[in-house]
Amino acid sequence: MKECKEQGYIHSIESFGTVDGPGIRLTVFFQGCPMRCLYCHNPDTWSPKVGKPVTVEEILELYEKNKSFYQKGGITATGGEPLMQLAFLTELFERAKARHIHTCLDTSGILFGKTHKEEYRRLLRSTDLILLDIKHAFPGAHKKLTGQPQAPVLDFLDFTTEEKIPVIIRHVIVKGFTDSPRELEEVGRVLAGHPNIKGLEVLPYHNMGERKYEALNLPYPLKGMENLSREEASRARKIILESFQRHRPPASPS
C-alpha cells in the first residue's frame, strides 16, 4: 500500500470509545500491522491492502459532529499499527492539536527506526499520550510471540522518554507465554528506567477474536487456550509493579 498524506486506510472508526485513552474518544482503527501476535483479536486489520480510504478532514468532521461528548476525551489512533501510515497519522494529530483536541497513540512501537528520528519527533510533538504495548520482556520469546524483533519496541520506549511523552504501558497476560514470575519481573525491570511512564494496564487474554479467524479462514494459534481471570491479571500486575519499584533509580536530590 502506498502511503498518502492526504488519505489514510482505515479499518473502522468508533464514535464513543472508552478504553483507549482518557474520557470518551473518537477511536480510529488504522489498517495494516506487521506483527502476528498469537493472541491478536483483530486479524482483519493485518493486511495493508484493504480498508476504507479516509481523509484527515473526514475524521475531524466526525469528531466535530459529537464534539460535546469529547470534552474530557479526544482522538485515539489504534489499529492495526498506526505507525504503518506515519505521514497520515502525523497530519491527523497535527491538525487535531491545532483544534486543541487531545491525541492518543495506541502502538507497539515496532516500526520505530533510529534513522528516522526526526519523522517520529514531529509526530510526538503533537501526541499527548502513548499507550505502548509491551508484548514480552525477552527478545527470543518476543519474536516467537509476535513474529517481530523486540529491539525497535524498546528503542521507541527510550525515544518517548527522551521526548518526555507520557506513556501508559499495556501488557497482555497469556498463560504459558507471558505469565511466569520471571517474565513479569523482567517487564518491571525494563520499565523502571523510564520516568515518563504514568500507568500500567495488565490485560487478561481472551479468545473473543477466534470467530474473526474462522471468518477469514485462518487457523487460530491459541485454540483451546483458557481465558485469563481478572484475579490472575491482578496478581501479574502486582509482580510487575513490585519489580518496577525495586529497580527504579533513586530520585535525584532537588
Distance CA 28, CA 96 (A): 13
In a domain, 253, yes or no: no
Report pLDDT digits (tens) over 130-180.
Answer: 999 999 999 999 999 999 999 999 999 999 999 999 999 999 999 999 999
CATH number of domain containing 92:
3.20.20.70
In a domain, 252, yes or no: no
In a domain, 2, yes or no: no
**Residue 181: CB atoms within 10 Å:** 11
Domain count, the chain: 1
pTM of the full predicted structure? 0.94
In a domain, 196, yes or no: yes
Residue 19 has which C-alpha cell?
Answer: 478504553
Angle at 197 between CA 230 and CA 200, to 5 degrees: 0
Tally the C-alpha atoms within 13 A of residue 229's C-alpha that lie toward its C-beta: 3
Tally the C-alpha atoms within 13 A of residue 78's C-alpha that lie toward its C-beta: 22
Report pLDDT digits (tens) over 211-226.
Answer: 999 999 999 999 999 9
DSSP state of 121: H
Identify the domain containing residue 145 by its residue range: 7-247
In a domain, 254, yes or no: no
C-alpha dist (Å) from residue 162 to 29, 67, 109, 120, 188: 27, 33, 15, 12, 19
